[in-house]
Amino acid sequence: DAGVIQSPRHEVTEMGQEVTLRCKPISGHDYLFWYRQTMMRGLELLIYFNNNVPIDDSGMPEDRFSAKMPNASFSTLKIQPSEPRDSAVYFCASSWGGISGNTIYFGEGSWLTVV
Amino acid sequence: GNSVTQMEGPVTLSEEAFLTINCTYTATGYPSLFWYVQYPGEGLQLLLKATKADDKGSNKGFEATYRKETTSFHLEKGSVQVSDSAVYFCALTLGRSYGGSQGNLIFGKGTKLSVKP
Which residues on neighbouring strands pair with residue A99, listed in sequence order? none
Q: What is the pLDDT of residues A73-100, one digit of tens each?
A: 999 999 999 999 999 999 999 988 766 6
Model confidence over A39-69: pLDDT tens digits? 888 889 999 999 999 998 989 988 999 999 9
Is the Cβ of A43 closer than 8 Å to some Cβ of chain B? yes
CA dist A42 → A52, A113, B61 (Å): 26, 16, 26
The minimal CB distance from B44 to the residues A45, A55, A106 is found for: A106
Q: Which of A4, A9, A43 should one mutate to test binding to chain B, selecting the residue with the greatest count of B CBs within 10 A?
A: A43
Contact A99 B110 (CB under 8 A): no
Residue percentage of chain B with pLDDT more than 90: 69
B32 contacts in chain A (CB < 8 Å): 100-101
- Residues sharing a CB contact under 8 Å with residue A112, sequence separation 6 or more, in sequence order: A11, A13, A19, A21, A79, A82, A86, A87, A88, A89, A90
- Spell B33-53 as b/e; 16+ CB within 10 A means b: bbbbbbeeeebbbbbbbbbee
Task: Report d(CA B57, CA A71) in Å as an integer.
Answer: 35
Output phi, psi for B43, to 5 deg.
-80, 180
- Residue B102: pLDDT band (50, 70, 90) is low
Task: Tell if the CB–CB gap between A100 and B105 is shorter than 8 Å.
Answer: no
Cα distances (Å, whole numbers) of residue A15 to A20, A36, A40, A81, B103: 14, 18, 20, 7, 30
The partner residues of B50 in beta bridges, in order of sequence, read: B33
Q: Does B42 contact A48 at a Cβ distance shorter than 8 Å?
A: no
Higher pLDDT, B107 or B96: B107
